[in-house]
Chain A
Amino acid sequence: MRSHSLPALLFRGRLPLVIGGLLLFMALNDRSFFIPENLLNIVSYSSMNGLLAIGMTMLKISREFDISIGSNLVLSGVVGVLAANHFGPAAGIALGGASGAVMGLINGWLVAKANVNSFIATLGSMVIFQGIAFALTDMKPVACERVGFQTLGGGEWLGLPSPILCFAGVTGLIWFLLKSTRVGKYAYAIGGNLRGCRNLGIAVDRWRIGYFVICGLCASFAGVILASKLGAASATFGENVALVVIAAIVLGGVPLSGGAGSVPGVVGAILLLGLIDSMTIYLNVFGYYQNLFWALLLIGVVVLDALYARRVNRRIELAELLRLKRESQTAAPAEVKG
């Protein structure tokens, strides 16, 4: 429902408004914030969270979520580095990515076939993946011995660091999938009405597993890039990542009940997160003000979301009432005549 009232406009334009406000604040306080290196750095730093969030956007639209992506990132990084050390850089990248797909497959099977609630299922698999990563690395960071492996995360092209390019590529791909292919259309449909889709004869379970696999693939891609950027993998990265990613997705306008949302909103939210991070460093502020700001933003969005939904519902109810009233008015004289 497109309306042009002020609250609706504020609600739709919240991300540009907040980002614009923050940029204005920085422009008044510290001009050196706007040097290209720093802006590029913000985007480069955000692209890890961005890859995770973009993968989860499609999953979230189909009304599931995956909190094991932090562990997925860790485990695929470890697998990638170990495989690169044993079989060469290309095998490292391929096996790291494949391990993410397997993890997504396990999560998807648990949720779609075994009917476990996705929160509980992925909470369990999060602990399992983290445990495997700990066991593989013996709780020590593993260094990468092959130089070739590090070109993925440390390279540059046209002056842009490769994490940004990977992020942009994956974002474009997922955006295309969501906008104009069956994969995306079914994600919206399944998120909107699961039972309806099943009754229509769509192989719902297979698609839902597929969305988990896409999410897992994105997480493992981020893990491999992170490992190759740092030249090492450790089982202690990636704690709390899932919560940040879920928060970014909600800020980006994907409702928790699924069935709606778009890629640009999520990208905006991810950039906002990076912006806040960088701002706290530039302003030399105690780090927890960042958490405070992020928390207030999140609560503000949820409250706004709830109020807006209530408003829309009330308007739909009113319209329904009016329609009923009109029908009864037009129907009543006819009865008298008859």
Chain B
Amino acid sequence: MLNNLAVPGIVALGVALIVIAGGIDLSFSSMLACCVALAAWLQPHSFWLALVGPLLLGALLGALNGLIIVKVGANPLITTLGTLWLFLAVLFILAVLYNNYTAKHLALLRVAKR
């Protein structure tokens, strides 16, 4: 049981920091997904790269949230709701591009070329 709780626990520790500071972050699940994908992608190349890369990516995505919320003064709930969808959408689109799921799904590119 503790083993299953390790991942949510680590995420919760990070979110706890934000909530203590008076903010909120809904986008952690998408960030988690992005980092998992990056780790899986880097894993065949090098173990250490797969360890450090996702950490850096997570820091980067968190910094993006932080910049929008603190520097611009936007509402944290809505901003992280937006980035929740943004990160997930970018991840899925990149995954589809990477796996080369036939150009049929990428009609937007065709429209852009026309």
Chain A, interface SS category: helix
Asked if A283 and B78 sit within 8 Å, CB to CB, the answer is no
Once A292-B90, A306-B72 are accepted as A-B contacts, the answer to whether A256 and B106 lie under 8 Å apart by CB is no
What 8 A-B pairs are tightest by C-beta distance, nearest first?
A295-B86, A295-B85, A292-B89, A298-B82, A291-B89, A299-B82, A288-B92, A286-B105
**Residue A305 interfacial (CB < 8 Å):** yes
Asked if B74 and A302 sit within 8 Å, CB to CB, the answer is yes
Of residues 275 to 293 in A, which have CB atoms within 8 Å of B's CB atoms? 283-286, 288-289, 291-292
Number of interface residues of B (CB under 8 A): 28
Once A247-B81, A303-B68 are accepted as A-B contacts, the answer to whether A295 and B89 lie under 8 Å apart by CB is yes
**Residue B104 interfacial (CB < 8 Å):** yes
How many interface contacts (CB-CB < 8 Å) are there between A and B?
87
Hey, which chain B residues are within 8 Å of A256, CB to CB? 75, 77-78
Asked if A284 and B78 sit within 8 Å, CB to CB, the answer is no
**Residue A294 interfacial (CB < 8 Å):** yes
Asked if A284 and B107 sit within 8 Å, CB to CB, the answer is yes
- Taking the closest CB of chain A, its distance from the CB of B28, in whole angstroms, is 14
Using CB atoms, name the residue of chain A closest to B75.
A256
Given A285-B107, A286-B106, A306-B75, 10 more A-B residue pairs with CB atoms under 8 Å apart are A119-B24, A119-B77, A246-B81, A247-B81, A289-B89, A291-B85, A291-B89, A298-B82, A299-B74, A299-B86
- Taking the closest CB of chain A, its distance from the CB of B110, in whole angstroms, is 9
Asked if A289 and B93 sit within 8 Å, CB to CB, the answer is yes
Once A291-B85, A295-B86, A299-B83 are accepted as A-B contacts, the answer to whether A286 and B78 lie under 8 Å apart by CB is no
> Complex Cα distance A243/B85, Å?
10
Hey, which chain B residues are within 8 Å of A295, CB to CB? 82-86, 89
Using CB atoms, name the residue of chain B closest to A286.
B105
Using CB atoms, name the residue of chain A closest to B105.
A286
